[in-house]
Amino acid sequence: MKKPKFFYICDPKKNMDCGKTSCYLNGEGCRLTTDVNCAKTDTKGYPLGYTRDEFYSMPFDYKSWPPPSKIDSVLDTLEHNVSGLIDE
């Protein structure tokens, strides 16, 4: 299985394929998706999330979830993503 390059903050309303068994809406801890189409977006419509390296390097404190995103870094990386998103 190929490791994902990005972890996006999940928008459960968009993520219809998920059974939501471990979703934060059900009191569990999952708030992420690897599907860019199911990601929450900023005011410009860019998906919110983290690069793989960024995600695994941050300390977790579930009281302040989700952790702050370096969105400019994510957007710069997305420019080269197969999804075709461009940082304007």
Q: What is the pTM of this model?
A: 0.62
The domain spans of the chain are: 6-78
pLDDT at 40: 92
Share of the chain above pLDDT 70, in %: 66
Average of pLDDT values for 10-38?
88
DSSP assignment string, 59-84: PP-GGGPSPP--HHHHHHHHTTSTT-
Contact (CB, 8 A) for 78 and 47: yes
Q: Could you report the per-residue pLDDT of 47-82, keeping only the tens digit for each?
A: 998 888 888 887 766 545 555 555 555 555 554 444
What would the mean pLDDT of 32-58 be, rounded to a whole number?
89
| Angle ∠(23,28,33) on CA atoms, nearest 5 | 35
What one-character DSSP code corresponds to residue 38? G
Contacts of 73 (CB under 8 A, 6+ apart): 51, 54
CA angle 86, 13, 1 (to 5 degrees): 65
Confidence class for position 36, pLDDT limits 50, 70, 90: very high
3-state class (DSSP) for residue 26: helix
